[in-house]
Structure 1
Amino acid sequence: MARFVLTGPDFHSYNEMMAGALRRLGHHVDVLNMPEPDEGIPTKLRLLYYDRIASDAVEYEFLSPASEAPVEEMRYQFMSDRIHEYNRELLKRVRSQRPEVVLVVKGHLVHPETVKAMSEAGAAVVMWCYDSAVRFRKVLAAGEHYDQFYTFEPSDIEPLRERGIDAKFLPDAYDEQTYQPLDESETKRDMCFVGRLWPKRKRVFNDVLERHPEKSFTIWGRQWNSYNPFLLYEYKIQNRTLQSTVVNRDIPPQRVNEIYNESRICLNVHQQQSRKGFNNRTLEILGASGFQLVERKPAIEREFEVGEEIACYTDTDDLAEKIDYYLEHDEERRRFAERGRAAVLERHTFEDRMQTILDDLGNI
């Protein structure tokens, strides 16, 4: 049994999902969540500015190494004291607990000197970035101090290695304890999407709504808020058709699983940062035994048998045709769902990813 300290953003319960996988493999895990901005009025006013800048820049910021860092760091610069305290607490836990492994997830708030000090304390320090690693200055600056460095995005590998970081591709994963078929599930809608509506997704979904006005389509996720007039104008005035499909709140993973079970087609459009890789949603839909139409990516072709285990689309015309086709072919959707679930259970769980990391570290 190895001792782990696991730290990362408290995002969709991924920290606890990874910790659960490690515990099922027989290891001891201590979890430290990264800090998030508080919900006070000063923070909200600053986030208004951040959200406006980010909404304009996001399609471009994902495209070159470290280019998003100024926008990303803008969000956190007013909580620098909390970030420093987080780094102190992380190092304190490592020095007191003496873990064999520190698993850092995303790592955008971990100072390079903290990574170096944890390594000097005797731990094997591992990075797994489920966002594009080249976006974050701290991740790039600390890269050389990690004993293992993984990224979900294959196109990260070359620019990372040019910076002296020996990076490896490690796809995202899913938690089979959370995403699974539900026996009593009733179909409630034609299509669904759960997640943030970045500009690319808005374009795709507006096209879907224009071409399929008679189909039921619901989107879950917090897209606007009361303190951001730009987003209120966009959704309440400028784009009412899209707004009418949105349930404007974030939901827990268990509810996401229910939605995937209740929908005939689960749509999956990647962010700009996914040039070649695929997101967690790809695996979670399959784990729930849902049928998805997902944007085709090279990593999907590498990890799945396209046309047998997973259905992909190439552009909005292809997506529109496949929506019409698969809504009329229930049995084909069912077969995709069965084969896709078998594929992710076999090789794409968090336990699979944790075992890969342990194997690379020499099965400590």
Structure 2
Amino acid sequence: MRSLRLLLVTPAFHGYHRSIARAFAGRGYDVLTHCYDAYETFADKLRNKACFEFPARLGFDDPARAEAWATRRALAALSTAQPDRVVVIKGDTLGPEFWQDLDARRTPRILWLYDDLRRHRYTETFLRAVGPVVSYARAEALQLSERGIEATFVPNAFDPELALPSGRRTGEIVFVGARYPNRVELLTQLGQAGVPVRAYGREWSHHPFDRLRTWELARPSVPAERDIPLDRAYAVQAEAAAAVNIHGLQAGLAMRTFEVPGMGGLQLADRQDIGEFYDVGKEVMVFGSPSELVDLALRAKRDPAWSERLRAAGRRRTLAQHTFAHRVAEVDALWA
């Protein structure tokens, strides 16, 4: 008996699709992956800047062109793969032709949203018809269910196959991720309190190329590095004296919620609802104010025994309950 062929239609976003694909393969699927927004060659990247990003900066945004480009490629991937099942990650830049083709093929599909509803273009009518919907936010999954949409809460996760803890410690407090005002404020206050801090990402980086490709020249005074691949981000957060998990205006918990403890890092998080997944005070730490964050960061530097206890406990909990294998098992149970 042949393995079921599963097509993963996904954004390229930090390569998370690789972790999801590995988890599905671990359940016996023959997994094919199509990144609908991947600009893999220099020509593709140049085309994206010239045809999409630059016009948008000038106020001539034409999302229909980007949608048509992504949809043509996704339809070609469907035709080539001839899958038995399809999992679409996010997918809201794909046009109606893609979903109509899935309908015509009668291919079972699941829509997996690991971002907030307000960042998607989907209507309730569409979500009600599309089939099982997975949301990374419990409140949003509940909201959808109350409105007659087949929705399930599946939180984010950690991939233990991506990297292994090194045991090294840098002594810095780090943040890896996009630059939002609340993150700038907290990292700045840490620095002003004498805590060695470092941010990673193109929006923090002072490199001239990163200033140009993000279409801005100004940068906060926070010490910063350029973009790093996901496996390196795993390592950086684990090797730091502590990694700060600062959320933006988002409903669910970020990937780093599980990545930092999963790698044996010490997580300082800004949300109490992390307690649904970890024992606060024994596996992770939560701060409620900038002063509490400063206190925790200083303790992380001066009390290695305390730090190592939390690191070990957080890693044990993550490996036992919060890997992509755990999450994909939940998603895999949703096929009609």
How high is the TM-score relative to the length of structure 1? 0.80
Equivalent of 2:178 in 186, 192, 196? 196
Moved over 4 A (4+): 48-53, 73-78
1:330 aligns with 2:304: yes
Q: Deviations over 1:194-226 (max 9, x none)?
A: 1111222112211222222xx322211111634
Equivalent of 1:170 in 123, 143, 154? 154
Consecutive unaligned residues of structure 2, counting only runs of 5 or more, are: none
1:284 equivalent in structure 2: 259
Q: Deviations over 1:34-55 (max 9, x none)?
A: 12464327725853675799xx
* Structure 1 pair 135–141 and aligned structure 2 pair: CA distance change class (3 A): farther
Equivalent of 1:40 in 46, 54, 57? 46
Matched position secondary structure for 2:241: strand
Shift of 1:283: 1.0
Consecutive unaligned residues of structure 1, counting only runs of 5 or more, are: 54-72
In structure 2, give the amino acid aligned to 1:40.
L
Equivalences for 1:132-147 in 2 at 5 Å?
132-138=116-122, 140=124, 142-147=126-131
In structure 1, give the amino acid aligned to 2:75.
R
In structure 1, give the amino acid aligned to 2:23.
A
Equivalences for 1:80-159 in 2 at 5 Å?
80-93=67-80, 97-99=82-84, 101-138=85-122, 140=124, 142-159=126-143
1:63 equivalent in structure 2: none
Matched position secondary structure for 2:88: strand
In structure 2, give the amino acid aligned to 1:311.
M
Distance in 2 separating the partners of 1:75 and 1:337: 47
Equivalences for 1:260-279 in 2 at 5 Å?
260-273=237-250, 275=251, 277-279=252-254
Q: Deviations over 1:164-202 (max 9, x none)?
A: 4222211011211014312xx432232111111122211
* Structure 1 pair 47–97 and aligned structure 2 pair: CA distance change class (3 A): closer
How high is the TM-score relative to the length of structure 2? 0.86
Percent identity of paired positions between Structure 1 and Structure 2: 23
Equivalences for 1:20-39 in 2 at 5 Å?
20-36=22-38, 38-39=44-45
Shift of 1:89: 1.9
* Structure 1 pair 46–6 and aligned structure 2 pair: CA distance change class (3 A): closer
In structure 2, give the amino acid aligned to 1:146.
V
* Structure 1 pair 200–140 and aligned structure 2 pair: CA distance change class (3 A): farther
Answer whether contact 1:7 1:32 (CA < 8 A) is retained: yes
Q: Deviations over 1:248-306 (max 9, x none)?
A: x2111222232123211111111212x3x2111111111111111011142x1222222
2:201 equivalent in structure 1: 221
Shift of 1:137: 1.3
Distance in 1 separating the partners of 2:281 and 2:193: 24
1:315 aligns with 2:278: no
1:259 aligns with 2:236: yes
In structure 2, give the amino acid aligned to 1:175.
D
Answer whether contact 1:152 1:169 (CA < 8 A) is retained: yes
Answer whether contact 1:133 1:139 (CA < 8 A) is retained: no
1:354 aligns with 2:324: no
Equivalent of 1:207 in 165, 186, 189? 189
Answer whether contact 1:189 1:217 (CA < 8 A) is retained: no
Answer whether contact 2:110 2:133 (CA < 8 A) is retained: yes
In structure 2, give the amino acid aligned to 1:264.
A
Residues 168-177 or 321-330, more deviating = 321-330
Distance in 2 separating the partners of 1:141 and 1:110: 16
2:316 equivalent in structure 1: 342
Answer whether contact 1:109 1:138 (CA < 8 A) is retained: no
Answer whether contact 1:193 1:219 (CA < 8 A) is retained: yes
Distance in 1 separating the partners of 2:109 and 2:316: 32
RMSD, aligned CA = 2.7
Distance in 1 separating the partners of 2:104 and 2:214: 48
